[in-house]
Amino acid sequence: MSDHKRVEQQHVEAALKALLPVPAALDRDRLMFRAGRAAHRSPAWRAGLLAGLLALLAGAGGTFLVMRDSGLRVEYVSVYVSPATAPKPPPPAESPKAPSTPAPESSPVPVVALPEPTWDWFASMTSPAGGYLQLRDQALRWGVEALPSAPAGVAEGTAPLPKNLLQMQAKMLNKMPGF
Amino acid sequence: MMEPELLARLIERHAAALVLYARQWCAAAEDVVQEALVKLAGQRVLPRNVPAWLYRVVRNGAISAARAESRRRRHEAEAAQARPWFQADTDAVMDSETATLALRQLPLEQREIIVAHLWGGLSFEDAGQLAGCSSSTAHRRYLAGLALLRERLGIACPITSELNSNTSKRP
């Protein structure tokens, strides 16, 4: 570029540069407020990532709670009682008309020994310390078979049943603590 | 994070030129510049060349705004186009309205380089990157635009005027 052209160019540049652009009609306060808010705003992807992680955690926790083993198991125990030790039922009264069909003695019949509810056992259940409500819930939930067996003494039937109402009341009061 | 003082300095130094630059495409230039400044404030790491970054964001925003404006009613855009680009009460040798008209008649590719370099203070390299061309092409467009402006505005070079007057005085 020749010097003459360069001088011409500089002259045009100077003439144009003397023109000042119209000042920007910006709302400065609003702009500073918005800029401050934008500077402190966490990025959207970070909030999304956090929400995703929390949702994943909640899903995993829910699946774990549903699939986990509850820890409470009901075990059915069958008690086989041999015919020799089993108490023999009293022989039915023979009637001359009804022919008796004797049961086969060769194969032992499995008999489930159920606790015989006696008065002591019942009293221990009704007392608050005996956990009657707990046993009731257990029976409602898992069935009667899940109830614990009665104490040995009770099963043997050593405790005599009350003969009248007064004896029953006295026995109940003796069993209940605080009376 | 951007300090408020830095943002205030940027507004002071570049806002008017950025608005002028955005007006090459759209009428809502102030909104575009404001959005660009807010976007800059939201940056975690400041760009290496802040003015060039601002001009790029303003350019993209102005082009998008121009697309949106073209869908609106036409008279609104025409009313916005009538806004002056330069201040009237300056000591400039030329009239601001005439300069605005002459600048508006330039091809856009020359006009944006002239505005970015002359009033924005960007280098030809930055202006070329903005326009999507090389720095030499940007310089060539700049010179061509200046030549057109000189013709249209009738800006007389003092040396040429002196030469012409000397030749006319000769018998």
Nearest Cβ partner for B41 among A11, A25, A39 = A39
Alpha-helical runs (H) found in A41-178: 44-67, 119-126, 132-142, 152-156, 165-175
Kindly tell me if the per-residue pLDDT of A59 is higher than 90: yes
pLDDT tens across B144-170, in order?
Answer: 999 999 888 887 766 555 555 555 555
Which residue on chain A is closest to B154 by alpha carbon?
A12
The whole-number average pLDDT for the span A110-128 is 60
Distance CA B55, CA B116 (A): 8
A interface with B, Cβ–Cβ < 8 A, is 4, 7-9, 11-13, 15-28, 31-32, 34-36, 38-39, 41
CB contact under 8 A, A32 and B7: yes
Report yes or no: A40 and B23 within 8 Å, Cβ to Cβ: no
pLDDT one-digit tens code per residue, A5-18: 788 888 888 888 88
Q: How far is A46 from chain B (nearest CA, A)?
A: 13
Instruction: Examine the predicted complex and report whether its ipTM is higher than 0.85.
Output: no
- Looking at residue B125, its pLDDT comes to 94
Kindly give, in sequence order, each residue whose CB lies less than 8 Å from that of residue A124, ignoring residues fewer than 6 positions away: A130, A175
Residue in B75, B23, B153, B16 with CA at minimum distance from that of residue A16:
B153
Confidence of residue B51 (pLDDT cuts 50, 70, 90): very high
Q: How far is A23 from chain B (nearest CA, A)?
A: 5
Q: What average pLDDT does chain B have? A: 84
- Select from B16, B114, B150 the Cβ nearest to the Cβ of A23: B16
CB contact under 8 A, B149 and A12: yes
pTM: 0.54
Instruction: State which residue of chain A sits closest to B155, comparing Cα positions.
Output: A12
